[in-house]
Amino acid sequence: MIDEKDEQKLRGIGVKDSKMLTPKQRERMFGEIKAVAKDYVILKISAKEIDEGRVIKNLNRLEAEKMAEIIRILKADRAYVDAPQVSTDKFKQYLLALAKNHTEIIAENYADKTYPVCSAASILAKVERDREIEEIKKQAGYDFGVGYSHDERTINFLHHLLDKHKGEFPDFVRKSWITAIDIKEARKQKKLGEFKVREVEDD
């Protein structure tokens, strides 16, 4: 949350969509952004909490609930929100119903590329995520890269975890993540295929 007059300060820092910045640039901006901000809130949601929530709602609704919580805490005059779904007005109305306060909400796709305050928020979130990832690497004793599905090291790590934990993922892995589901399912199918081959051979 910033005073409107301080938006130019964020531009001066060089804020932009966090994905367009290097980890070093994000780390440098992290403290500078907090110095400009009147206040800020970072909510950390565990993989287990997401998995449990996904049983009764989709990821967009989970995100909306956390966004609304931040909006209620900060009580800003206006909130710029990076809407995770195509129907931005529908998402905005859902947020307004959850927030239950007088904050004006501007919900747009790719808002973190358009509004400096939203870009700044994306940087704070990304830095915190990267720190959490590094902590998991230390605990696991395994460098699994960035933790996204496009990283081969992450995919290898998921296979490693299934081998290590007897076919199950530990709690720090989001079990409702489609990548994790696909890998687990593919391994089941492979085992089933091997079983059928052995059954034929035995006959």
Note down the domain range covering 91: 4-134
DSSP for 29-54 reads: HHHHHHHH-S--------HHHHHHHH
Please check whether residues 23 and 117 belong to one and the same domain: yes
The model's pLDDT over 94-109, given as tens digits with 9 standing for 90+, comes to 999 999 999 999 999 9
pLDDT-derived band of residue 55, with 50, 70 and 90 as boundaries?
A: confident
Please check whether residues 35 and 120 belong to one and the same domain: yes
CATH number reported for the structural domain that contains residue 188 in this entry: 1.10.10.460
Radius of gyration of the chain (CA): 21
The model's pLDDT over 147-195, given as tens digits with 9 standing for 90+, comes to 999 999 999 999 999 999 999 999 999 999 999 999 999 988 876 666 5
The pLDDT, as a whole number, for residue 188 is 84
Alpha-carbon distance 67 to 150, whole Å?
27
The pLDDT, as a whole number, for residue 190 is 76
Q: Does the pLDDT of residue 201 top 90, yes or no?
A: no
Overall residue count recorded for the chain in this entry? 203
CATH number reported for the structural domain that contains residue 97 in this entry: 3.30.420.10
Percent of the chain whose pLDDT exceeds 90: 88
Please check whether residues 130 and 148 belong to one and the same domain: no
The pLDDT, as a whole number, for residue 189 is 83
- Running DSSP on this structure, what letter comes out for residue 3? -
Query: In sequence order, what are the residues at sequence separation of 6 or more whose Cβ sits closer than 8 angstroms to the Cβ of residue 164?
Result: none
Please check whether residues 175 and 79 belong to one and the same domain: no
Q: Does the pLDDT of residue 43 top 80, yes or no?
A: yes
**Residue 34: φ, ψ to 5°:** -65, -30
Alpha-carbon distance 178 to 184, whole Å?
10
Per-chain mean pLDDT for the chain: 92
Alpha-carbon distance 147 to 75, whole Å?
33
Please check whether residues 72 and 149 belong to one and the same domain: no
Please check whether residues 115 and 72 belong to one and the same domain: yes
The pLDDT, as a whole number, for residue 160 is 96
Percent of the chain whose pLDDT exceeds 70: 94
Q: Does the pLDDT of residue 142 top 80, yes or no?
A: yes
